[in-house]
Structure 1
Amino acid sequence: MKFPKLVATFLLIATSFVHAQEKEITLEEIWNGTFRQERLQSLQSLKNGKEYLVLNSDRNAEKTTIDVYNYSTGGQVRTMLNSADLPEISSFQDFELSEDEGKILINTASEKIYRRSSRGIYYFFNFQTKELTKLTDKMVQEPTFSPDASKIAYVFDNNIFVYDIASGEETQVTFDGEKNKIINGVTDWVYEEEFAFVKAFQWNPSGEKIAYIKFDESKVPEFSMDIFGQSLYPSEYTFKYPKAGETNSLVSLHMYDVVSEESQEIDLSEYTDFYIPRIKWSADPMLLSVQVINRHQNGLDLIFVNAEDNSKEVILNETNKAYIDITDNLTFLEDNSFIWTSEKDGFNHIYHYNDKGYLINQVTSGDWEVTNYYGFDRKKKKIFYQSTETGSVNRAVYSINSKGKRKELLTPETGTNSADFSADFTYFINSFTDTETPYVYTLHRAKDGKLIREIKDNSKLLELEEAYNFSPKELSAIEVNGNELNMWMIKPQDFDENKEYPLLMFQYSGPGSQSVSNTYFNSNDYWFQLLADEGYIIACVDPRGTGYKGAAFKKVTQHELGKYEVEDQIAAAQKFGAMDYIDEDRIGIWGWSYGGFMSSNALLQGNNTFSMAIAVAPVTSWRFYDSIYTERYMATPQENPSGYDDNSPINHVEKLEGDYLLIHGGGDDNVHLQNTMRMVEALIQANKQFDWAIYPDRDHGIYGGNTRLHLYTKMTDFIKNKL
């Protein structure tokens, strides 16, 4: 039986009196930090493996300290550095120790560039002489000690410099750096965003060489954004952004000799239109490993470059019919054999190769995924890793020897476990969470996982939440299009299976992603609790193309982003709508970024299923997005035009029948506002009515000040009025 919306509203009001004693959550509480979980501050293990560092800030005293703690007791041992003892500075934001732990770099003024990059004013402190020295007056990027801590390399204005600590002299390594043309030693925008690294130079272990990547982006098309700010006239920000099918930066690999002060280019002329997503020195101080991947990202060579004569050899070649994920899971052992992860057997697993690239053995195997590689204990010959062996929505931590034997589960609690190991692999700090438990931090012995002590939990948060009587996040699975898909659901507190409720679906759905996991509430989950209090059921389904269920499940969307994922979301919604307690006429969907692309598609292509959608910062055509991400899954638009156009929301606007809210940040350097503006124009020309909002100068995260509160207020009001 279908209840009219007015009757359903009346029933909702009536039941609210029953729960009058329960506290109702507000948007202000969600976004002012009321439900913020206690987290363990970022820590760094000292080389002795018995102690770790924590950066502590005291705003009242206006000081920053780096404090040393004992792993086994948790007690503070000493303070390594205190800004109150340094008259030249008042505080600092982060730090980096030299390899011998005798010196430290500290950042006293940081300025964000993009998602991962920043520049800052740096000082270095000598623990032996107690001297603090300013590195330079310039705002520099990625300062890094040489292995013997006698020098510091950094990047300024797209050029690499080397500072000699003893003499105070600065040597310029490169001279051709120029904004929007040539970059030395740090990555361009698209490498930073899609290959997830910024520093593109590496000291060799002996400090004699610096390997670095040069980016020639002079022919990369420019993108510009108006920044409105507070001035009378807006400014224009211009940067190089290669969209799908457009010209990428030309990359080249160089070797700098510190003594001769000369650079030589490594010959990679056999490759064309390629990427260098990783460089890393091996256990041999004169042997550099270089990963070279083709533009389609389905063929990767691991190359060894000899820094003495710049000769090179391909050690390992990997190919895939779809694409190869780039990771940081390369570890060299003392004999220069190496640990590597690959999906070549259909699931992500650990492999051990010798120094010539011949497979010694596959270390892990099974129909589950290695989700994090923590490292190798050279003394005990143990590998530590995280995996989905206890279920694709869970994470557990294991140890195994290099021969793939004597595997041991170190975290028996079912849920999401994540480890942070001490430098010598004596201990690990485990963070644990599940749908009922906010983060709990405990110290364990690495050899067998034995609990040593509890460090921190969120019992106070659970006590606070008792007054609200939140609904549980119920994990389950749904059979859709021949696949068992992971899902969760949140129901109203006073849920009655004999009543009907409107349904709001949330999803991200991007390649290799996961939105359904055995974890506690995040900010969106608290918002979902607010909506549940208003009488909505919230559900989330991870469709085909998402991660942690094997390569075949993840890569089925190749060349057709938005096809199978949308089919699964529509089919799931229809299956929900057939349930007695869900109103099939009141099903909405929302998402952010890729999720906004999906929610737009679902509303348009599933217009007989969804009555409402919200799209935040959506891609509306993959032709507008960057080359590395898009071509990894779609090839180029020139090669795959139908794949780009058939499933782009901008090409389906005539199908709009439900209520649609489109939201974007005006300063989004990632998914450009162009996506929304072109979608708006298409909707206008199709004479389709919709709602939209632009947040001036806000980037892809749309935050700052009251921005998030305003955004979620707008979305909440839209849902209450339209669904």
Structure 2
Amino acid sequence: MKLSKLSLVFLLTGSFVFAQTQKYTIAEAVNGLRSNLAVKNISQFSWNDDNKSFYQGTTNGYLVTEVQSMKQDTLVSLSQLNRNLTAETKLKTFPRITFITKDKGYFTQNSKYFWVERSGKDWKVKEWIALDENAENTEMLSNNEGFVYTIKNNLYLNKNGKTIAITEDKNEDIVNGQAVHQREFGIVNGIFISPENSKVAFYRMDQSMVKDYPIIDWSVTPAVNKNIKYPMAGTPSHHVTLGVYDIKTNKKIFLNIPGDPEQYLTAVTWSPDAKSIFVGVLNRDQNDLQMNQYDAATGNLIKTIFEEKSAEYVEPQNQLMFFPNSNTDFIWQSQRTGYNHLFHYNVSTGLVAQLTKGNWLVTDLLGFNEKKKEIFYASTQESPLERHLYKINWMSFQTQRLDTEPGMHNGVLSKDGSQLYDIFSNEFTPRVVNLINTHTGKVKNILTAENPLKKYNRPEIKNVTLKADDGTPLYGKIILPTDFDANRKYPVIVYLYNGPHAQLVTNNFPASGNLWYEFMAQRGYIVFTMDGRGSSNRGLKFEQAVFRNLGEVEMRDQLKGVDYLKSLPYVDAGKLGIHGWSFGGFMTTNFMLKHPEVFQVGVAGGPVIDWNMYEIMYTERYMDSPQNNPEGYKRANLLDKVQNLKGHLLMIHGAQDNVVVWQHSMKFLKAAVDKGVQLDYFVYPGHEHNVLGKDRVHLMQKVTDYFDEYLKK
């Protein structure tokens, strides 16, 4: 049967309309972007050492693609690996291989490491090294001859199959080879292998002076307590030293770093020749940093390269990055000018030049092109809401932007700096992946992902710029209900964090920033979110506006958002809700108690209630110590303000929370009982600070139901 043109148009438009009316399930709103609504991506991308090709993973293998011709071949497949394995050892799924070259690499399963190597058209697999099943924090020697790892509180070396105990501390309060200082200051590990594999530097942390803190496992009967070391603001902190183990002589020394034993040791970096180690020594007050060079053989101080001081705080976040084939010149990332920038230092002569400058900040240092004397980085130079990729000549300071599209760009640079993998998205673009020739600027697209949300009835999203009381621009987003009617009045949910090291509002996909916001818009809510002063990627003045007074400036900025919302004719000012987690949970509770007339409903997850009970490194950086700033701690303490609560407050906590410990909300409940104040409360057994996985669906359904119950009446 033939269709008329009119019928065809009707069918096409009808199907289009139908396609746009689909609503999210709560599971899709919470976990969809990590499951059935995930944006297509390049899996396990890495550059080949030849700088001319790259690897990517597939379900059952790896592909190698030659950049010039874009010719793609199977590098290795599951069937190739299994061809030489017995029935008992055959692999059921393809392992994640770390390639040394395109002809050899390794993977791990159940603490066993397997070597894979091409043999003609085939691949051979053989067991390489079996580590203790309790091995953690594993680091591999770059010559592939062994591993350094921890078992419980001690450090071990397995080289060519032989295991050596580097430390043998029987006191479990002495911890070796693990990240220290609550993983603050950019610290993510505690093992530092020298570039030529002759030595291993490692953190040694004495926690004996820090009080035990109980974390209860309620899943067993009777319940079991596991003590952790959790140094709270104003209390004794752990003592950290740096050891150096010589693999050849089997001897170890400790760096001679005098001073307060509670100081912080950060930015640990080997010199490329492995003769010295650089350590950022930061005082406990976190306002004085010395970058020191130590002799790796004796542990003695060679010299102080530079010192950074601040009336507020100094916050080192990165190791030194040495220039290619240089033992003397390195890049240091510093916020000393008010924005994070790149500084060129020479070990002997000190500061050579500030490489990047301006009222914007470098967010990532990607690497070098040695031949052309170029440094590659990502920054907020175009806008605080975006990230773009640049190169700068370290001799002429000539700078060039390498990408062209608006949005959030992340880059992976080839080893020689000739090719740049650029992955980006913006509010209209789910994901695009390009290869950029850094010399010619020529771009090759290797992925343009389809929009997985195209069938859904999505809300209108507007970017909003407001002004703080000092004129500082504040960026936010307002998400209107689907099927929006300007003549109606709608309830509003304000979602906030507004704390350090977080930025909610960027030019990214999805434009809303969170599918739960869109889910709530489909249910007839307006959702508003804004980054106030104190949040990240706007420079030190913006971030440090909250110094010693957490929760005050942030509230003033968020109240500007409330004023904006109330100015809109379609906002029901009598039905405002607020929700946040962690620092956002603190802000939510703060609002419900200090401005009880503003929000009728609040949902506070994992909230800090009393900063005296939060960990030292974070709290004392932004609040100073309780001894030095008693008034600031008193203002921010919510335990003596519970009687101010007027609206409906739901507080939620993970029972195993080791970040914002459970005691925060438990003490708040006790204060509420003492004052005769009613509130709602829910606990997630088995979860630490964040409720993740399938249980997060339960969490967000509970949050949704709470707003429905009290904002839709």
TM-score (ref. length: structure 1): 0.88
Q: Residue 316 of structure 2 is aligned with which of 326, 331, 334?
A: 326
Q: Following superposition, which runs of at least 4 residues in structure 1 exceed 4 angstroms of deviation?
A: 18-21, 55-58, 80-83, 85-89, 91-98, 100-105
Contact 2:139 2:191 survives alignment (8 Å): no
Partner in structure 2 of residue 623 of structure 1: 612
Contact 2:49 2:415 survives alignment (8 Å): yes
Partner in structure 1 of residue 9 of structure 2: none
Partner in structure 1 of residue 8 of structure 2: none
Residue 67 of structure 1, CA deviation: 4.8
Residue 404 of structure 1, CA deviation: 5.5
Cα distance in 2, alignment partners of residues 94 and 218 from structure 1: 39
Partner in structure 2 of residue 456 of structure 1: 447
Q: Write the deviation string for residues 342-361 of structure 1: whole angstroms up to 9, x where unpaired.
A: 11112111111112252111
Partner in structure 2 of residue 12 of structure 1: none
Partner in structure 2 of residue 148 of structure 1: 143
Residue 20 of structure 1, CA deviation: 11
Q: Is 1:70–2:70 an aligned residue pair?
A: no
Q: Which is worse superposed, 470-479 or 30-39? A: 30-39
Structure 1 residues 620 and 348: alpha-carbon distance in aligned structure 2, compared to 1, 3 A threshold: same
Structure 1 residues 93 and 258: alpha-carbon distance in aligned structure 2, compared to 1, 3 A threshold: same
Structure 1 residues 472 and 345: alpha-carbon distance in aligned structure 2, compared to 1, 3 A threshold: same
Residue 272 of structure 1, CA deviation: 3.7
Structure 1 residues 21 and 354: alpha-carbon distance in aligned structure 2, compared to 1, 3 A threshold: closer
Q: Write the deviation string for residues 415-455 of structure 1: whole angstroms up to 9, x where unpaired.
A: 11111112222212211111222122222212354211x22
Cα distance in 1, alignment partners of residues 384 and 708 from structure 2: 34
Partner in structure 2 of residue 468 of structure 1: 456
Q: Is 1:547–2:533 an aligned residue pair?
A: no
Structure 1 residues 710 and 149: alpha-carbon distance in aligned structure 2, compared to 1, 3 A threshold: closer
Q: Is 1:358–2:353 an aligned residue pair?
A: no
Cα distance in 1, alignment partners of residues 224 and 132 from structure 2: 26
Contact 1:600 1:615 survives alignment (8 Å): yes
Q: Write the deviation string for residues 35-87 of structure 1: whole angstroms up to 9, x where unpaired.
A: 222233232323222233345455xxxxxx45544345262351288653555
Q: Is 1:169–2:171 an aligned residue pair?
A: no
Contact 1:487 1:540 survives alignment (8 Å): yes
Q: Is 1:212–2:202 an aligned residue pair?
A: yes
Cα distance in 2, alignment partners of residues 394 and 716 from structure 1: 31
Residue 613 of structure 1, CA deviation: 0.9
Residue 522 of structure 1, CA deviation: 8.2
Q: Is 1:490–2:490 an aligned residue pair?
A: no
Residue 662 of structure 1, CA deviation: 0.6
Cα distance in 2, alignment partners of residues 582 and 420 from structure 1: 44
Partner in structure 2 of residue 714 of structure 1: 702
Cα distance in 1, alignment partners of residues 343 and 486 from structure 2: 50
Query: Partner letter of residue 539 of structure 2?
Result: G
Q: Is 1:673–2:657 an aligned residue pair?
A: no
Cα distance in 1, alignment partners of residues 230 and 192 from structure 2: 25
* Matches for 1:279-678 after TM superposition, within 5 Å: 279-312=268-301, 313-328=303-318, 330-333=320-323, 334-335=325-326, 336-356=328-348, 358-403=350-395, 405-452=397-444, 454-461=445-452, 465-482=453-470, 483-521=472-510, 525-678=514-667
Cα distance in 2, alignment partners of residues 420 and 74 from structure 1: 20
Q: Which is worse superposed, 540-549 or 78-87? A: 78-87
Query: Partner letter of residue 145 of structure 1?
Result: M
Q: Write the deviation string for residues 99-145 of structure 1: whole angstroms up to 9, x where unpaired.
A: x8887453313xxxxxxxxxxx1314263885322332432123333
Partner in structure 1 of residue 10 of structure 2: none
Partner in structure 1 of residue 7 of structure 2: none
Contact 1:89 1:108 survives alignment (8 Å): no
Aligned-pair Cα RMSD in Å: 2.5
Residue 19 of structure 1, CA deviation: 9.4
Contact 1:187 1:215 survives alignment (8 Å): no
Q: Write the deviation string for residues 324-357 of structure 1: whole angstroms up to 9, x where unpaired.
A: 2222252112332111111111211111111225
Cα distance in 2, alignment partners of residues 86 and 421 from structure 1: 36
1:326 is paired with a residue whose SS is: coil
Cα distance in 2, alignment partners of residues 77 and 296 from structure 1: 55
Contact 1:377 1:424 survives alignment (8 Å): yes
Residue 548 of structure 1, CA deviation: 2.0
* Matches for 1:1-400 after TM superposition, within 5 Å: 22-30=21-29, 31=31, 33-58=35-60, 65=61, 67-72=63-68, 73=70, 75-79=72-76, 84=82, 85-87=84-86, 88=89, 90=91, 94=96, 96=98, 104-109=105-110, 121-125=111-115, 127=117, 131-165=126-160, 168-176=161-169, 178-179=171-172, 181-188=173-180, 190-192=181-183, 194-229=184-219, 231-312=220-301, 313-328=303-318, 330-333=320-323, 334-335=325-326, 336-356=328-348, 358-400=350-392
1:347 is paired with a residue whose SS is: coil
Cα distance in 2, alignment partners of residues 23 and 630 from structure 1: 45
2:514 is paired with a residue whose SS is: helix
1:720 is paired with a residue whose SS is: helix
Cα distance in 2, alignment partners of residues 468 and 266 from structure 1: 59
Partner in structure 2 of residue 13 of structure 1: none
Contact 2:106 2:116 survives alignment (8 Å): no
Query: Partner letter of residue 624 of structure 1?
Result: M
Query: Partner letter of residue 269 of structure 1?
Result: P
Structure 1 residues 403 and 20: alpha-carbon distance in aligned structure 2, compared to 1, 3 A threshold: closer
Contact 1:186 1:201 survives alignment (8 Å): yes
Cα distance in 2, alignment partners of residues 97 and 172 from structure 1: 28
Structure 1 residues 240 and 625: alpha-carbon distance in aligned structure 2, compared to 1, 3 A threshold: same
Cα distance in 1, alignment partners of residues 105 and 226 from structure 2: 35
Contact 1:316 1:357 survives alignment (8 Å): no
Q: Which is worse superposed, 212-221 or 572-581? A: 572-581
Structure 1 residues 555 and 329: alpha-carbon distance in aligned structure 2, compared to 1, 3 A threshold: same
Contact 2:475 2:530 survives alignment (8 Å): yes
1:161 is paired with a residue whose SS is: strand
Cα distance in 2, alignment partners of residues 515 and 691 from structure 1: 27
- Paired residues in the alignment total 677
Contact 1:433 1:519 survives alignment (8 Å): yes
Structure 1 residues 468 and 162: alpha-carbon distance in aligned structure 2, compared to 1, 3 A threshold: closer
Residue 590 of structure 1, CA deviation: 0.7
Structure 1 residues 716 and 151: alpha-carbon distance in aligned structure 2, compared to 1, 3 A threshold: closer
Cα distance in 2, alignment partners of residues 285 and 715 from structure 1: 53
Structure 1 residues 588 and 287: alpha-carbon distance in aligned structure 2, compared to 1, 3 A threshold: same
Cα distance in 2, alignment partners of residues 24 and 581 from structure 1: 23
1:344 is paired with a residue whose SS is: coil
Structure 1 residues 238 and 595: alpha-carbon distance in aligned structure 2, compared to 1, 3 A threshold: same
Residue 187 of structure 1, CA deviation: 2.1
Contact 2:114 2:125 survives alignment (8 Å): no
Q: Write the deviation string for residues 128-169 of structure 1: whole angstroms up to 9, x where unpaired.
A: 88532233243212333334333322222222222221xx32
Contact 1:574 1:609 survives alignment (8 Å): no
Query: Partner letter of residue 501 of structure 1?
Result: Y
Contact 1:191 1:277 survives alignment (8 Å): no
Q: Any stretches of 5+ residues in structure 2 without a counterpart?
A: 1-16, 119-123
Contact 1:509 1:595 survives alignment (8 Å): yes
Cα distance in 2, alignment partners of residues 20 and 94 from structure 1: 38
TM-score (ref. length: structure 2): 0.90
Residue 596 of structure 1, CA deviation: 0.7
Cα distance in 2, alignment partners of residues 356 and 161 from structure 1: 35
1:652 is paired with a residue whose SS is: helix
